[in-house]
Amino acid sequence: MQNRAPETSSAPQGAPQGSGPRIAGTVGGRPAPGTRPPYQGNRSGGYQGQNNRYQGQGAPRTGGYQGQGGGYQGQNPNSGYQGQGGGYQGQNPNPGYQGQGGGYQGQAPRTGGYQGQNPNPNYQGQAPRTGGYQGRTPNYQGRPAGGAPGARPGGFRPQGGPGGQRPPFGQRPGGGRPGPSSGTQEMDTLNQRTPKKTFTKKTNASYKKRNAEEEKEFQVQRRKEQAAAKLASVPKSIDMMEVITVSDLAKKMNLKASEIIAKLFKMGMMVTINQQIDHETAEIICSEYNCSVHLVSLYDETLIASESDEDQELVDRAPIVTVMGHVDHGKTKLLDAIRSTKVAEGEYGGITQHIGAYKVNLDDRGEVVFLDTPGHAAFSMMRARGAQVTDIVILVVAANDGVMPQTREAIDHARAANVPIIVAINKCDLAEAKPERVMQQLSDLGLMPEEWGGQTLYCQISALKKIGIDELLDTVLLQAEMLELKANANCRAEGKIIESRIDQGRGIVASVLIERGTLRQGDHYVAGIYPGRVRAMFDDKGRKIEIAGPSTPVEIIGLSDIPGAGDPFQVTEDERQARQVGAKRQELERLGDSRNVKKVTLDNLYSKIKEGTIQEFNVIIKGDVQGSVEALQGSLEKLSNDEIHLNVIRASAGAIIESDITLASASEALVIGFNVRPTPRAQALADQEKIEIRKYNIIYDVVDDIRLAMEGMLSPEVREIEIGTVEVRDTFKVPRIGTIAGAMVTKGKVKRNALVRVIRDSIQLNSQMVRISSLKRFKDDAKEVAEGFECGIGLENFNDLRVGDILEIVDTEEVARKLESNQKI
């Protein structure tokens, strides 16, 4: 292996440094990185520069890589950048890295450079560079010709001949990219662009797309699986109220609300997630998922979990007995006889208008709770509530009256509640008493006496003379013993609201019958839809108590609003639970109320227009207790008919206050006070606004007065009365008047402005009666012509009169109409 001799360049004298050809080796300047000893190996011709002609592939190169034209001499074309003192001399301190004083001598101490991977000594390393980069000058002509031995002299290579020998790898193909030269054929390589490479994604030849039919079957099967999974998540049945929102229905069915909305859209209903639908629509949706719908009440929808009862915790409790029957059959008298009180004497009209609860101690025989219900037809709801909370029903029937309508209703309520009935035939001391007839009537209704082979217990009593009372109580205790009545006293209290009212000085007061558990002062509870806290408790005699066990009627104070009679009463774990349950129930109550609001649509617009002629009678009802208010409201609303609609715009318990008068003034309503009076300020405002306040103590009087007032608003009935008959004897044509008939009054009389039917050959000519426009006796006007006299008669807009026609004279009268047929109580 021989080292190449350094080559010198023939640069013209005086030329700027760096403008001439570079000398091989390491001459000054900063060599480019990676400079090594002369490359003697693979290529016979060295690379002669970037801007000069490419001298490589045409002939074999004898020299190695000659560097890149010298060290970098700086950006000044005169002196150039001379580097930082020297090139990188290699990594070995001996022949390699010499500090910064010389050029790059290679990375290894080998003198011949890199010998290649082949044991043949071909690769001799990189030849040292003769000079660094001489700067950017406008006279830079590229690298000179020559360089490594074997390279062709500079100049344009139009076609590039074959290169030199490249032992031992054979001959390289000739040619190469022609570079710019100092001659006229110079090419700027910087302006040339590299051809754009395109890549084609290689497809997997082994992939085969599913057949269209297989894909379709796959999709169908997947849909079936998804539908089956969805059906499996939907419950078999759900509980709901009369109305439910779309979101709540979706939660109950474990579906997305959007799916329910889509189903309704297909049914032609545009709904939102918070919109309400009725239970019938919900049933249609649920039927598609094989889900049934059960209607529940407001309180079942928001049920408070009850504590479980253990057998060892159950104790005997007093029976709850409800006294029912027709009005004035002696129910309250019977309770007075049992309690040795005079409650009946304090009731207006001698009739019960409230439901009362009393606890009676029967000495050593135990205790019994009695509920007294009204017998009037208006208090049907009270009787129904009494039957729902009771254990035994005492049906009081007067021996002189027998079975009456409310007697039958009481039997129906007891049977609906599955409660045993004990019949008490009252007023047996009267001479006209017929107990056997009463027993026969009740047997026909299914209450067969025991002595007749039935199962119903009968007692003949006289509440007024206290005859048979002990026998009746023994019968009640016997029936209670057969029922084995027990309750858990060691749990949270539960019961029913018997009655509620506003008490002056104490606020809202509710009568509660505890059915299970123990109620204590300070407990938080939910009464109906309103939360509250027990501030104080009183027993049926008005004594303050702190604890009330099962089968105990109490009055409690501390309600946030007036609950409805018959609403459930439940003690909660804490105040937070009471408020949450109350808020949820109030929300559901509002949803139910909004469903009853009638909205005008195109379908019912015509009927609404027709209803414009209907008169409205607005009333405001204020009563002493909520149950009486509800009963009175129901009775008055039954008075409505097709012409007059009675509208109860407010019905609540409590005294008549200023807001009631203000509402009555705005709506032109009548204010009804049932066992209540207006406050002084409310009375003064009513006098100022000319608002009428009617005060009543008996429900009969309220219904009768309102009926008369509504009858006065009805349009009177017009009746036709035939008052005479006239025979036409002759006719006359009078200009600008028409036909005048000369007639004879054959029957009755003729009156001016009376109505006339024209009869010809026993057929009425005019479909509607015409009025007499003129009536004359000879030439004088007459108001009336009696039978047997002649007269002249002219008719309005009717001239077809002939001799022999019969004129029937008809008069009308107005008759006031009645509401008897519309009253249903």
Token pair belonging to 78: 């005169």
Amino acid (one-letter) located at 528:
G
Residue ranges of alpha helices (H) inside 490-603 are: 575-595
As its CATH architecture, domain 607-713 has 3-Layer(aba) Sandwich (3.40)
Vertex 143: Cα angle to 141 and 147 (nearest 5): 155
Token pair belonging to 38: 């002369």
Amino acid (one-letter) located at 331:
K
Q: Could you tell me which CATH number the domain at 496-594 has?
A: 2.40.30.10
pLDDT at residue 70, as a whole number: 44
- Please report, in angstroms and rounded to a whole number, the separation of the first and last CA atoms in the chain: 135
Q: Could you tell me which CATH number the domain at 717-815 has?
A: 2.40.30.10
Overall fold of domain 319-484? Rossmann fold (3.40.50)
Structure-token match 């290679």, residue found: 106
Query: What's the burial of 41, exposed, middle or buried (CB within 10 Å: 0-12/13-18/19+)?
Result: buried
pLDDT at residue 466, as a whole number: 86
Token pair belonging to 406: 């409310």
H/E element, 416: helix 405-416
Residue ranges of alpha helices (H) inside 210-316 are: 212-233, 246-253, 257-266, 279-287, 298-301
pLDDT at residue 91, as a whole number: 46
**Bond prior to 168 in cis (omega within 30° of 0):** yes
Q: Do domains 319-484 and 607-713 have the same CATH topology?
A: yes
pLDDT at residue 57, as a whole number: 43
Neighbours of 734 (CB within 10 A): 11
* 491/102 Cα distance (integer angstroms): 104
Token pair belonging to 48: 């002669």
Residue 329, SS3 per DSSP = coil
* 226/221 Cα distance (integer angstroms): 9
Residue 366, SS3 per DSSP = coil
Q: Under a CB-based contact definition with an 8 Å cutoff, are residues 130 and 70 in contact?
A: yes
Q: Which residues of the chain have pLDDT under 50?
A: 1-35, 38-125, 127-142, 144-163, 181-186, 205-207, 342-354, 375-379, 597-602, 605, 821-825
Length of the chain: 825
pLDDT at residue 93, as a whole number: 43
pTM of the model: 0.54
CA-CA-CA-CA torsion for 485, 491, 496, 497, nearest 10 degrees?
A: 140
Determine phi and psi for 410, rounding to 5 degrees. -65, -40
Most distant CA pair in the chain: distance in Å? 173
Q: Under a CB-based contact definition with an 8 Å cutoff, are residues 547 and 518 in contact?
A: yes
Q: Under a CB-based contact definition with an 8 Å cutoff, are residues 113 and 126 in contact?
A: yes
DSSP class of residue 304 equals P
* 285/171 Cα distance (integer angstroms): 88
Structure-token match 């123990």, residue found: 518
pLDDT at residue 194, as a whole number: 65
The DSSP bridge partners found for residue 555 are 511, 538
Amino acid (one-letter) located at 300:
D
Structure-token match 């239970």, residue found: 279
The domains of the chain are located at 1-181, 229-296, 319-484, 496-594, 607-713, 717-815
